[in-house]
A and B are shown apart, each in its own frame.
Chain A
């Protein structure tokens, strides 16, 4: 699958010490934390046992501030980031069923608003239909 790369990424040299690059790298990484399969991947490779990584996760909490939140396309990653601050959660993520459960819950929640909207639309159509039948019945009675 070919994708058009943004122009800056086709440069030959990527300066990682550039603040804007680091910003984007951290922005991507924090949002990748919303992916439960990725979290399972990281957990299985033992990254959650390293103090440096744990401190890095704590450092990433700056994304919760208003000036940074507005750049997040997947704000649900912040919830995962908060959960990751707890050791019990990190330890549990090694298990694949745990990641699967989280993924299922995320999907259900993701669909919740859509389903509610569909239900509301259906109920509105239902009431409109009932209104129509009542009006028709009245007009028939009026005519006779």
Chain B
């Protein structure tokens, strides 16, 4: 080979080497940029995570507050549904205290006949007692509660002389409940033998 060719080859190689160093330098610069960008991404990621935590905490707080508010609203609704006029309450309180039905009279002693429930005399004087004693000539007095909840079998039969309660009778008989009470031993009602209850018949609407 002659010297010219060698020089050409040498110059080519030199050129290639200098190109390659250029490329390497550019790559270095890019590498620096890449590192900077990665660092930025990392900081942004941290910020996002931080925000996420805050959001979750806020969501929890709001959820609790919402739940409590819903509870309060439902209790408001319940209270409004059951609202009663204060005068009605006072009237009712007066009614149940005046007849000593819910609080004993101040001068009550253990021998006193008064009781916090309706007794023999009151039961006899009321409608239930009258169903026994009335001289009715009604023929078809079969009283039934409304036909719901399986009460179809309940009957209060009419009172003729042969309507005495029979042993095998499966139907409930409101009237003869009081009749039987009158006929049964008074011993069962040991505390109720003779009532000096001053109130009038129980239960009837004033």
* A139: interface (CB < 8 Å): no
- The interface stretch among A13-21, A87-95, A127-135 is A13-21
Instruction: Tell me if A28 and B102 are in contact (CB < 8 A).
Output: no
Which of A24, A50, A73, A74 interacts with B172 by CB under 8 Å?
A50
* A84: interface (CB < 8 Å): no
Chain B residues near A40 (CB, 8 Å)?
Answer: 188
Name the distance in Å between B116's Cβ and chain A's nearest Cβ.
4
Instruction: Tell me if B204 and A6 are in contact (CB < 8 A).
Output: yes
Instruction: Tell me if B150 and A74 are in contact (CB < 8 A).
Output: no
Report the separation of the CA atoms of residues A113 and B106 in the bound assembly, to the nearest whole angstrom.
10
Q: Which of A16, A31, A47, A74 has the most CB of B within 10 A?
A: A16
* A98: interface (CB < 8 Å): no
* A143: interface (CB < 8 Å): no
B interface: dominant SS:
loop
Report the separation of the CA atoms of residues A52 and B152 in the bound assembly, to the nearest whole angstrom.
7
Report the separation of the CA atoms of residues A116 and B95 in the bound assembly, to the nearest whole angstrom.
21
* A41 with B188, Cβ < 8 A, contacts A70-B88, A76-B102 known: yes
Instruction: Tell me if A56 and B136 are in contact (CB < 8 A).
Output: no
Q: Mark B174-206, 1 if CB is under 8 A from A, else 0.
A: 100100110010001101101000001111110
Name the distance in Å between A4's Cβ and chain B's nearest Cβ.
8
Q: Mark A83-117, 1 if CB is under 8 A from B, else 0.
A: 00000000000000000000100110011011001
Instruction: Tell me if B117 and A55 are in contact (CB < 8 A).
Output: no
Instruction: Tell me if B84 and A66 are in contact (CB < 8 A).
Output: yes
Chain A residues near B131 (CB, 8 Å)?
Answer: 14, 16, 25
Chain B residues near A5 (CB, 8 Å)?
Answer: 125
Interface size counted on chain A using CB atoms at 8 A: 59
Instruction: Tell me if A28 and B204 are in contact (CB < 8 A).
Output: yes
* 8 tightest Cβ-Cβ pairs between the two chains A and B: A52-B153, A34-B117, A55-B150, A28-B203, A16-B143, A35-B117, A110-B116, A111-B104
Q: Chain A interface (Cβ within 8 Å of chain B)?
A: 1, 3, 5-6, 9, 12-17, 21-22, 24-32, 34-38, 40-42, 45, 47, 50-53, 55-56, 58-59, 66, 69-77, 103, 106-107, 110-111, 113-114, 117-118
Q: Chain B interface (Cβ within 8 Å of chain A)?
A: 82, 84, 88, 92, 95-96, 99, 101-106, 108, 115-119, 121, 123, 125-128, 130-131, 134-138, 141-143, 145-146, 148-154, 156, 170-172, 174, 177, 180-181, 184, 188-189, 191-192, 194, 200-205
Pull 30 A–B residue pairs with CB atoms less than 8 Å apart, ordered by A.
A5-B125, A9-B134, A13-B134, A13-B138, A14-B134, A14-B136, A14-B141, A16-B138, A17-B143, A25-B131, A28-B128, A31-B118, A32-B202, A37-B188, A37-B189, A41-B184, A47-B172, A51-B153, A52-B152, A53-B172, A56-B145, A59-B148, A72-B203, A73-B101, A74-B96, A74-B102, A76-B101, A110-B104, A111-B108, A118-B106
